Amino acid sequence: MSEPTGAVRTRLRGYLTDTLAELPAGSALVLRHPDLPNAGFHRGVTLPWNDSDPEDDRAFFDIAYWLLGPAPESADQWYDGIVRGWAERGWPLRSDRDTRPRGTTATTPDGYRLTVRQSVRGHLGVAGSTPPFPAGAAAGEPWPDRIDRTPEPRRELDRAAAELRAELLGLTARLFPGASPELSMLAEPAVLEYREPLRHHFTATLQVAEGGADDVPRAAAVLADAGWLVTAADDRTLTATRGGFRLRVRAYAGAAGLGISGETPGYVLSAQAAPARPEPVVTAATLRAGALLCYECAGLGHCPECLGRGWILDAERRRTRCVECRGARTCPVCAGAGQLVIRELSDPQRQQYPELDPGR
């Protein structure tokens, strides 16, 4: 039997990822737990929604994962963390029992069910099931072996990517009912602009083999109807923006077909900490005999201007190549050694060390 596709699938996946939000970094849902080699889960199962009614052709999808991360002694706390996260969202809970092994099921307002259950040996399993959907929809891609806990901004960016995908496919379906375009989107977001703080976004493109310049005004009308701000660049290209999303529709010159592309808003995925000062490669205590700490970097070895990153921020907070090391990352005077041999110093270099008593 088929699997849920589209929104149902995205939603269930989102709820499973959200369930990890309350847990420590590094936690993940996995089909195969390394401690339980003989108890792997399958990639979910589609079952009839109502077995007792042959007229009811609806189905639902159910999938279970092991929770990777908690040591057996902290499994109780992790269990409680998951249940607390669901409770804080206001989802009704139902517990199997209060003694171990425990199990709790939450029901979301849109009819998804999530269950956390302890095994006899203390491992935790998390299962999710969908509300009913019409049976017979096409099967989707296989479910992942592993769902990682992701930081909050990344989850929002992933949601934006799903929305972008839906917008591009929805627009294509409106313009060319029955077309089955190939949509391509990278699995990982790209840097939107090299300006601190770095922002990432997703881009997607799809090609439609039919249509042409006449369809660009049709696309403009569909998009304007859906609240997009549409700008026509010329009679074969338009751009549309809405809530930080950007779409572009272009009719190919001299051939049939349209190219539709889009990008999500940019998200700052990690707070940009001040650059850490690297450890010096040499200190007064570890100098070689007959050498002095480099007068430029004082033993750092890394370029003292950019601290070994190779770039600095300009006045607009854009990354630019470091003016001192020109991107080489090492101190230009000692070439990374952090120290200079006294015998090999040039005269101007000697003058940097008044204690050497120049001239003698």
Out of 115, 325, 342, 360, the residue judged to bind Zn ion by CB under 5 A? 325
- For the bound state, the minimum distance from the C-beta of residue 280 to Zn ion, rounded and expressed in Å, comes to 10
Q: How many residues bind Zn ion (CB under 5 A)?
A: 12
Q: Which is nearer to Zn ion, 245 or 311 (CB)?
A: 311
Rounded to a whole number of angstroms, the CA Rg of the chain reads 29
Identify which of residues 68 and 303 has a Cβ nearer to Zn ion in the complex: 303
Strand, coil or helix: what is 229? strand
From the CB of residue 44, how many other CB atoms can be counted at a distance below 10 Å? 21
Q: How far apart are CA 234 and CA 157, in angstroms?
A: 31
Strands 93-97 and 58-68: unpaired
Nearer to Zn ion, 38 or 346 (CB): 346
Looking at the Cβ atoms of 84 and 326, the one nearer to Zn ion is 326
8 Å CB contact between 20 and 78:
no
Please give the structure tokens belonging to residue 113: 């069910």
Span interacting with Zn ion, options 30-38, 249-257, 313-321, 332-340, rule CB under 5 A: 332-340
Measured between alpha carbons, how far is residue 16 from residues 122, 202, 263 in Å? Answer: 20, 22, 25
Binding mask 240-279 for Zn ion (x = CB under 5 A): ----------------------------------------
**297, 329 contact by CB (below 8 A):** no
Query: CA 265: distance to chain centroid?
Result: 13
Q: Return the DSSP state at 191.
A: E
Whichever of 80 and 324 has its CB closer to Zn ion, that residue is 324
Pick from 278, 331, 342, 346 the residue near Zn ion by CB under 5 A: 331
334 near Zn ion, rule: CB under 5 A = yes
Q: Min. distance of Cβ 198 from Zn ion in angstroms?
A: 19
Query: Smaller CB distance to Zn ion: residue 262 or 301?
Result: 301
Q: Who contacts 187 (Cβ-Cβ below 8 Å, separation ≥6)? A: none
Closest distance to Zn ion from the beta carbon of 338 (Å): 6
Residue 197 C-beta: closest distance to Zn ion, Å: 21
Closer residue to Zn ion, CB minimum distance, 223 or 281 = 281
Pair of tokens at residue 192? 């939107």
Q: Is 87 left (phi over 0), alpha (psi -120 to 50) or beta?
A: alpha
Q: How many residues does the chain have?
A: 360
Q: Are 69 and 147 in contact (CB under 8 A)?
A: no
- The strand pairing partners of 65, in sequence order, are 126
The contact mask relative to Zn ion for 285-324 (x = CB under 5 A, - = no) is ---------x-xx-----x-xx---------------x-x
Give the per-residue contact string, 63-102, with Zn ion (x = CB under 5 A; - = no).
----------------------------------------
Smallest distance from Zn ion to CB 77, Å: 46
Residue numbers of the site for Zn ion (CB under 5 A)?
294, 296-297, 303, 305-306, 322, 324-325, 331, 333-334
